[in-house]
Every structure is written in C-alpha cells, then in structure tokens.
Chain A
Amino acid sequence: MAEDIMDRIKKDIESNKIILYIKGTKEQPMCGFSAQAVAIFSQLGVPFETRDVLDGSGLREALPQHSNWPTFPQVFVNGELVGGCDIVTEMYEKGELQPLVQKAIAG
C-alpha cells in the first residue's frame, strides 16, 4: 500500500506541470500557508492542480518522505519541488516565479 501512494505521487508530479499539495482544497484551503500558495498561483492566472493532503489517503505521511520536505504546502513545477509557501512567496515578489511558470506551461 505504501508503494501505491508513492507511485501515485510520482505520477501526479510527472503528469501535471504545476501541482500544489495543500491542506484543504483550492476552493477552501484549511491553512493560511496553503491559502497563500493557492492565491499566488491564482494571481498568476495559470492552470494548476491541487491535492488535499488531509484527504486521509496517506499523502500527509508519504509526501514528506518522497520530497524530503517536512511541511505543507509543497509546490511542484515540471516535476521539481520549488518549495513551500515562503519560497514561492519570495520568488513571486522578486518576479522569479512568473518566468519559471510560463516556461513550464510553454514547454
């Protein structure tokens, strides 16, 4: 079963150009940090997927192991961990996130 969830994470990260693992949903984030990450990507106006780590499927336990990253949200662009809320916010404020995201969408 542990294998299944690791496979699911890998497939999701590979098949979605932008995916955010958050607490709650895009429409209703359950944590301020997750809400902020969602707000930034909404602001960028690009399509992105989210997964709810509180959905009881074991994501909350498995993802930190997969990414070697203990907290949520976790933002992946083109299969790479970009970071959590602080990194994404800092990159957005410095104008570094937009080009990264545009490149991923175009690529």
Chain B
Amino acid sequence: MADVAERIVAALKTRLNAESVEIADESAGHAGHAGAMRGGGHYRVTVVSGEFAGKSRVERHRMVYEALESEMGAAIHALALRTLAPDERA
C-alpha cells in the first residue's frame, strides 16, 4: 500500500484534475496531543486546480474533502488546506 501522502496526491490529481499538489507530512509535530492518539496523520496540502475557478473557499475545501473521503476518516487526522485556481498562484 502506497503511503498516505502519495494516495492523497494521486486522489487529488485524478478526481480534481489538479495541476499541482504539494504536500507536507506534519504528523510528527502533533504526535503527542489527545486527538492524535487514534493515529492518522496531519498533512499540509496546497492544491492548484482549474476546477476551483469561480468557486468560494468553502466550496473548494468541500471538493477536496469529497475527493479524499475514503482517506479522511482513518488515515487523515487533520488537513491544512490551500486551494488555488491556476491564475491565483503567487
């Protein structure tokens, strides 16, 4: 089984046609706290997708959560998200 970060990247590229997905595994920094006891990682993700154009931030984040639904419960404990349309890239 591929590691969780790789699965997240693959899912976002496939389901949201993401142009780029940057992911950082920040699980280590959260290992101690109560919520993390059940396992599951903390990831920081920046997604660039043409499908975000014209959508609100809430809509974009929902699209990401939906794309990752099968991973959200067990493997991902928390996700820090930045969602950008291609023309919003700095």
Residue pair A87, B33 in contact (C-beta under 8 Å): no
Q: Which of B21-43 contact A (CB under 8 A)?
A: 30, 33-35
Residue pair A31, B33 in contact (C-beta under 8 Å): yes
A6 within 8 A of B: no
Residue pair B78, A86 in contact (C-beta under 8 Å): no
- Could you count the A-B residue pairs with CB atoms below 8 Å apart for me: how many are there? 36
Q: Which of A33, A68, A82, A85 contacts B62 (CB 8 A)?
A: A68
Nearest CB in chain B: distance from A93 CB, A: 11
Contacts of B78 in A (CB 8 A): 33, 71
- Complex CA gap A59/B5 in Å reads 29
B72 within 8 A of A: yes
Q: Which of B30, B33, B35, B58 contacts A81 (CB 8 A)?
A: B58
How many of A's residues come within 8 Å of B, CB to CB? 18
A13-43 interface bits toward B, Cβ cutoff 8 Å, 1 = contact, 0 = none:
0000000000100000011110000000000
Q: Which of B35, B65, B82 contacts A70 (CB 8 A)?
A: B65
B80 within 8 A of A: yes
Residue pair B82, A84 in contact (C-beta under 8 Å): no
Name 7 extra pairs, CB < 8 A, besides A71-B65, A83-B57.
Answer: A31-B33, A31-B35, A32-B30, A69-B58, A71-B79, A81-B58, A87-B57
Interface residues of B (CB under 8 A from A): 30, 33-35, 57-58, 61-62, 65, 72, 78-82
Interface residues of A (CB under 8 A from B): 23, 30-33, 68-71, 81-87, 90-91
